[in-house]
Amino acid sequence: MMVDLPLGFLSDFSEAFDFIFNTREAQTGGVQVGGPAEVLEFTWEHVKVSGAAIGVACAVAIPAGLALGHAGKGELLAISISNIGRAVPSLALIAFFVAYLGVGFTNVTLALVLLAIPPILTNTYVGVRQVDRDVIDAGRGMGLNPQQVVRRIELPLALPSIFGGIRTSAVNVVATATIAPLAGVLTLGDYILSANVYGQDGRLAGAILVALLALCVEAAFAGLQRLSVPRGLALGDHI
């Protein structure tokens, strides 16, 4: 009867939620799948591999972006790396790492790092270049050395832009970590990619969970980006 209604797909979604909250036997028989414990385990793996990649990418891209931006050099590289990065399909990137370096947590992390670097590097560079020259001159006049100019003026003023880059990367990395099970890292994507084990309900549950995770990450980084606006700037809009 439900099936005759145009809203019949709703029952699919309720089955998917059932998969998230209750364990059931796998399609392949034997083991139990689904349920909160397994969902948490996959979510944790998803967050771990994404977090590691974002962390490494920040450690590489932010100093590089600050250095290039401070020196005003490498504009072509800093800007075009984002465009090139966008053109490389994330699936091809992961597949390339798996085919040539093998499966595993480290290789997936490395592939995701490459994916995450361009937006952070470009945004750091642009953020530093957008700092008002007068502010830097004022800092110099107060006797700040170049390192202090970077740390006390350029970095704080570029922070909102840097967090914007991290936000873009984070959402992209979390989305791409969905295909990590193809490389032997069991993220939430396993529910989507191994429907033969988890069934259609598991697959839909995986899609729901990945979507929710991406939205949470986006919201979290949007919040961080807002918090990263230096107090002086947040108050000084009317000047």
Partner 1 sequence: MLAQVEIRERSGDSCIARNDFCPGWIVDNFDRYTDPLAEHLFLTVAAVACGFVIAFTLALLARRRRWIVGPIVGVTGVLYTLPSLAVFFLLLPITGRGTTTALIALTAYTLQIIFRNIITGLDNVPPDARDAGRGMGLTDRQLLWRVELPLAVPDIVAGLRIATTTTVGLATLAVFAGAGGLGEQIVTGSNITFKTGVVAAGGLAVLLALVLDVVLLTVQRLMTPWRRAQPA
Residues at the contact surface with partner 1, assessed by CB under 8 A: 9, 12-13, 83, 86-96, 98-100, 171, 174-176, 178-179, 182-183, 189, 192-194, 203-204, 206-208, 210-211, 214-215, 218
Report the residue number, 88 or 138, with the smaller CB distance to partner 1: 88
Question: How do strand 32-34 and strand 23-25 relate by DSSP bridges?
Answer: antiparallel
Find the shortest distance in angstroms from Cβ 172 to partner 1: 9
Find the shortest distance in angstroms from Cβ 159 to partner 1: 21
Report the residue number, 129 or 167, with the smaller CB distance to partner 1: 167
Report the residue number, 215 or 233, with the smaller CB distance to partner 1: 215
Report the residue number, 9 or 59, with the smaller CB distance to partner 1: 9
Find the shortest distance in angstroms from Cβ 89 to partner 1: 4
- Closest by Cα among 176, 178, 154, 164 to 70: 154
Find the shortest distance in angstroms from Cβ 198 to partner 1: 12
- Closest by Cα among 2, 31, 28 to 15: 2
Find the shortest distance in angstroms from Cβ 37 to partner 1: 22
- Where does residue 142 rank: exposed (0-12), middle (13-18), buried (19+ CB within 10 A)? exposed
Report the residue number, 164 or 189, with the smaller CB distance to partner 1: 189
Report the residue number, 99 or 234, with the smaller CB distance to partner 1: 99
Find the shortest distance in angstroms from Cβ 50 to partner 1: 11
Query: In Å, how far are 94, 110, 130, 168, 220 from 224, measured between CA atoms?
Result: 28, 25, 20, 13, 6
